[in-house]
Structure 1
Amino acid sequence: MEPAAVTASASADGGAFLEFVDYAISVITSSGGDGSESPGAGPAPARPPWGWTVAQVLKSCRAYSSGVTAAILLSDLFQSWTEQRKSLTAKTKVEVTSLLNTRSKRRRLPRTVTIDSIHEKNFLSPKSVLEAVVIDVFVLPGTNIYMLTLGDMWSTSTIDLYLHRRYYNYIGQHCILKKGREVVLTGCCLRTAVVEGSGHARILPTEYMVILLDEEQDEDAMLLAAQFCTYSFSSMMEEKSRNDVVYSFYARIEKIETLEPFGCTERKQIVLVDNDDEKIKFILWGEQVSLANLFSVGSMLALDSPYISNFAHNNHEEPQELCLEYGSATQVYLVPIAQHEEQVGCNILVLLFSAVLLTKT
């Protein structure tokens, strides 16, 4: 195929040129790259963009002024595409690793799956756990729907998540959910490209996402000290008009236990201990029990606006002691336990909060 012939064909009706471009794209796509990349959506799409392919073909035609064959063009295209995918993959991997520089201090949760494995299997179980970092937050064009691009430490791929409206305040009002923020989520379902006709797989909205906080970061320490260290469990128990108060608690997870089903409904309880060594049960019902897979004993849980109820041990007892539940307005933050490190209590957080304020005045 001579350069002049390609140009003439393109300028006439474009038939032969466009036909070759489509053929080249199909060949490169079916080849699957060099075997080092994960299939599905990732830092670079598995299918070369049409515009990129056209530009590369013209570039090769100009480079071989004495003439070029279809085999040479395909070889150049394949090599360029492989190098581009490697470059983009490496760039994304470096970015994710830098954003997850604290991940090595924590244990991986038991049900954790990787983004690469999701793309490979084109499947995601609702019981699986995804430990991820936010790479990007954006709005779908022409809508008011927020999307998160997520990456993880073990994958070269990324994946997009439709954000549940339960968490929209994290973006607009509190600005907590942003690039670099670590999250853990479960109860997820996959919107696959094959079934839905999209260009790549995405995760559908889930109610069960927990935002991770880091006490060593000024912004997170200030949030914890200002919002979650005002009330103790004892102050709630003593308050007669407790239903008129919006409570926020900060406590250590002491136990995670499975309870006897209430009727046909599954239950789990998280035993929490606050800074005054007072204990209370945080009860999860039905589908909520999957939240327990995101927690670990020893980690600190920050509960905003929990639903206050009365706890019954089994189906035959009347509700007795007070307990907390995951209500429609409840928001959960987690400060994961770090290996070989002590957790910081509310008293230290208050001192840290005061010190930060002094340095900023």
Structure 2
Amino acid sequence: MSTEIDEDAFLGFIEYARSVLWSEDDNVHGSDKEGGGGEGEIPSYSTSPPWSWIVSRVLKVCKEYPSGVTKGILLSDLSQAWCEQNRYVSSRKRVKIGTISTNKRQRRNKLPSTVTIDSIHEKNFLNMNSTLEVVILDAFVLPGTNIYMLNLGDIWSSFTIDVYLHRRYYDLVNPEYGILKKGREIFLTGCCLRTSTEGHGHLRLLPTEHLMILLDEDEDEDAMFIGAQFCSDSFSSISLDAFNAGSSYAFYARIDFIGPLEVHATSGSLQKKKITLIDSDGIKINFLLWGEQVLLANLLSVGSMLAVDKPFIVNSSENNFEVHGQFCLEYGSATKLYLVPFVQQGEQVLLNSTQIRYQGSGLSSSISQVSIPLDYEGSIDLKTYPFRSYITDLHNKMTGVCLFGIVDNIYRKANDTDSVYYMIIKDITGAIMVKLHFLKSWSLGRVGVGCAIYISGLLCSFTTKKQLEASWFEKDLGASFVNLSCLPALPNSLCLHKLSCLSHLQTLTNTTHICSVRILDVELRQVNSRPIHAICGRFVEERSGILSCDFCFCTCSDKVIHSFDLNIILTDKTAKVSALCSGSTAAEILQIFPDEFYMLPEDEQAMYLYTLQSECFTVVLVNFKPQIDENASYNKLVPMWEIVHAKKC
């Protein structure tokens, strides 16, 4: 087990939880595990809880309970969530649905908002944003009506459910030549649940337009359908005049990008979504979804092939979008969508000596390699990687990378027009530069040098100088950033931290320390009030009467709040330390806001500070900048400490 894990209680808990879940996974699934299974291998990347999944889940619970969590709460949540996510593995009474249980289906990424049919029956509830990945078990007409019903099942459930087919798709359900027939996979979203008045709580789904028909290029019937229906048109063949004259088009293209949810500028409330498609000629075009249509994006994933039949075509200049080419596609009243989901290929990756050394799980003697999926561009996708990724493990063409490390530097280039910041992150194995791409401006609050952070959704690639660089895009699905040092639940949760003595700070400078301290001294001359930029938490400077932020390189007169800038002396039974403090943390320590403090006469200010001596606090300290000890006989670096979180005991 690594020294870093020994020093950091948070990392220690993650390793402990991983070993518990691993043990439960072995006991529950046993021989049902798929893939691998040989000596020295992990059976499958899909059956082991990824390290990043455990961290993200723990942080999610910590955000929900800032007053603190216990080991029991965290383990219970982790176990329940992992079992729910993988319940199909242990299900003994799954619906028999034929080819849907093939290896190809199991290697497909589950959609983020997918729910099971069993969960709908259990909860008697279905959210409109939820998705269903199902197969048609039967298609029939309700007796005495002309209403078509589909009986649906999924690979995770023992129950089935019926859905009223939307009349938009009636021409596809013909028993002779229709594509919506027994055995066909479909995706659904935007569904409403209806409990029948007949029988005993029989559930049905009301008709939904938001339906995606799945195709398989390896099946002869589907391959012929794609070739006959969609391969004659390309994006370069679009003619707006021909379309307006009644011509229709059918396109087959790869999903290259799924944009964020936006609000149309002119309407003020109409939602919109942009899907960028690229055809076999390399030509890109935007497929636009409006209003309730944006739910269809829940069914899409980058890398999948989308077949668009009879789209509505508009001139791109009529839309307020940054677009590719002259035209845009829209989901019209006659449009139908077919999807060939991207199927991940696996690659066996050997664990290097550093990775084995720092696993910290006691499994290093039996595991030498893992199977990791590749994305559609051939990059290794680490979202399902069961172990922690260290900086030394990273290389070109990696996606879904998650890192736990310390911020070593952070800045923005003055001449950068985009909202891009540069952060150097280091861990026990090395350091890497990360480019943070924001939609509009910095949105992570106060993040300083020395803070422990968890970042997910990184892409690794070589720069033009062949240096490895990681990129992070705020808009990407799965991208998250958590400043653990400023997480309120961390000092409030005994299972996630252990107290440090002030005398230990000199030897462990790269760790976030949680200490129980007393205020020894706060001198009035060391208490200042300075404006800070509300967005990034950095102090601003006044130049020619204008307040500007040197971190964001912007003027910010309308986004400034007043804050303390403190230098205080902390003490415990082992040592005393000088520490800096600002923002809400400084107000917490002084137990007064700046405006209130500076309304007091100077002598009352000094008396107020005197009364704070011997007050007890639990503080979170980070090492943000070393300084040279001028009293030493040689140039000795002495750590400088910042209080990033505090609570009164």
**Who is 2:137 aligned against?**
135
1:286 and 1:158 mapped to 2: Cα distance? 30
**Who is 1:184 aligned against?**
187
1:236-315 equivalences in 2 (<5 Å): 236-237=238-239, 240-243=241-244, 244-258=246-260, 260-262=262-264, 263=267, 264-311=269-316, 312-314=318-320
Q: Tell me how many residue pairs correspond in the alignment.
A: 249
**Who is 2:232 aligned against?**
230
Q: Secondary structure at the match of 2:119?
A: helix
1:73-152 equivalences in 2 (<5 Å): 93=94, 95-96=96-97, 98-101=99-102, 102-152=104-154
1:100 and 1:147 mapped to 2: Cα distance? 23
Tell me how far 1:187 sits from its aligned partner.
Answer: 0.5
Deviation digits for residues 255-274 of structure 1, max 9, x if unmatched?
00025422110000110000
Alignment counterpart, residue 168 of structure 1, candidates 157, 170, 174: 170
1:232 and 1:300 mapped to 2: Cα distance? 14
1:103 and 1:181 mapped to 2: Cα distance? 13
2:130 and 2:100 mapped to 1: Cα distance? 23
TM-score of the pair, normalised by structure 1 = 0.65
Kept in 2, the 8 Å contact 1:250–1:303? The answer is: yes
Q: Which has the larger radius of gyration?
A: 2
2:132 and 2:261 mapped to 1: Cα distance? 25
Kept in 2, the 8 Å contact 1:184–1:212? The answer is: yes
Tell me how far 1:324 sits from its aligned partner.
Answer: 0.5
Q: As a proportion of its length, which structure holds more strand?
A: 2
Q: Secondary structure at the match of 1:93?
A: coil
Deviation digits for residues 198-217 of structure 1, max 9, x if unmatched?
54010000000000000000
Q: Secondary structure at the match of 1:169?
A: helix
After superposing on structure 2, the runs of 4+ consecutive aligned residues of structure 1 that deviate more than 6 Å are: none
Deviation digits for residues 107-139 of structure 1, max 9, x if unmatched?
100000000000000011111000001111111
1:285 and 1:111 mapped to 2: Cα distance? 20
Q: Secondary structure at the match of 2:97?
A: helix
Tell me how far 1:322 sits from its aligned partner.
Answer: 1.4
1:290 and 1:94 mapped to 2: Cα distance? 27
* Letter paired with 1:338: V
Deviation digits for residues 41-62 of structure 1, max 9, x if unmatched?
xxxxxxxxxxxxxxxxxxxxxx
Deviation digits for residues 288-316 of structure 1, max 9, x if unmatched?
0000000000000000000011334539x
2:114 and 2:177 mapped to 1: Cα distance? 28
Kept in 2, the 8 Å contact 1:266–1:286? The answer is: yes
Residue ranges of structure 2 left out of the alignment (5+ in a row)? 1-90, 346-373, 377-649
Tell me how far 1:174 sits from its aligned partner.
Answer: 4.1
2:101 and 2:237 mapped to 1: Cα distance? 37
2:375 and 2:223 mapped to 1: Cα distance? 15
Residue ranges of structure 1 left out of the alignment (5+ in a row)? 1-88, 344-361
Question: Which has the higher mean CA deviation after the structures are superposed, 102-111 or 298-307?
Answer: 102-111
2:375 and 2:113 mapped to 1: Cα distance? 25
Tell me how far 1:94 sits from its aligned partner.
Answer: 5.3
Could you say which structure has the greater relative contact order, defined with CA pairs below 8 angstroms and 6 or more residues apart? 1
Kept in 2, the 8 Å contact 1:127–1:187? The answer is: yes
Question: Which has the higher mean CA deviation after the structures are superposed, 204-213 or 252-261?
Answer: 252-261
Kept in 1, the 8 Å contact 2:95–2:154? The answer is: no
Kept in 2, the 8 Å contact 1:260–1:314? The answer is: no
* Letter paired with 2:334: A
Tell me how far 1:99 sits from its aligned partner.
Answer: 3.8
1:342 and 1:118 mapped to 2: Cα distance? 31
Deviation digits for residues 174-226 of structure 1, max 9, x if unmatched?
41011110000100000024xx4554010000000000000000000000001
Pair 184,301 (structure 1): closer, same or farther in 2 beyond 3 Å: same
Deviation digits for residues 311-330 of structure 1, max 9, x if unmatched?
34539x9xx93100001100
**Who is 2:330 aligned against?**
325
Question: Which has the higher mean CA deviation after the structures are superposed, 292-301 or 333-342?
Answer: 333-342
Tell me how far 1:95 sits from its aligned partner.
Answer: 1.6
Kept in 2, the 8 Å contact 1:105–1:338? The answer is: yes
Kept in 2, the 8 Å contact 1:183–1:210? The answer is: yes
1:127 and 1:259 mapped to 2: Cα distance? 13
2:150 and 2:101 mapped to 1: Cα distance? 16
Q: Percent identity?
A: 57
Q: Secondary structure at the match of 2:96?
A: helix
Q: As a proportion of its length, which structure holds more helix?
A: 1
1:36-47 equivalences in 2 (<5 Å): none
Kept in 1, the 8 Å contact 2:303–2:375? The answer is: no
* Letter paired with 1:339: Q
Q: Secondary structure at the match of 1:296?
A: coil
Tell me how far 1:171 sits from its aligned partner.
Answer: 1.0
Q: Secondary structure at the match of 1:258?
A: coil
Are residue 205 (structure 1) and residue 207 (structure 2) matched?
yes
**Who is 1:36 aligned against?**
none
TM-score of the pair, normalised by structure 2 = 0.37
**RMSD of aligned Cα (Å):** 2.4
Q: Secondary structure at the match of 2:237?
A: helix
1:260 and 1:159 mapped to 2: Cα distance? 33
Q: Secondary structure at the match of 2:94?
A: helix
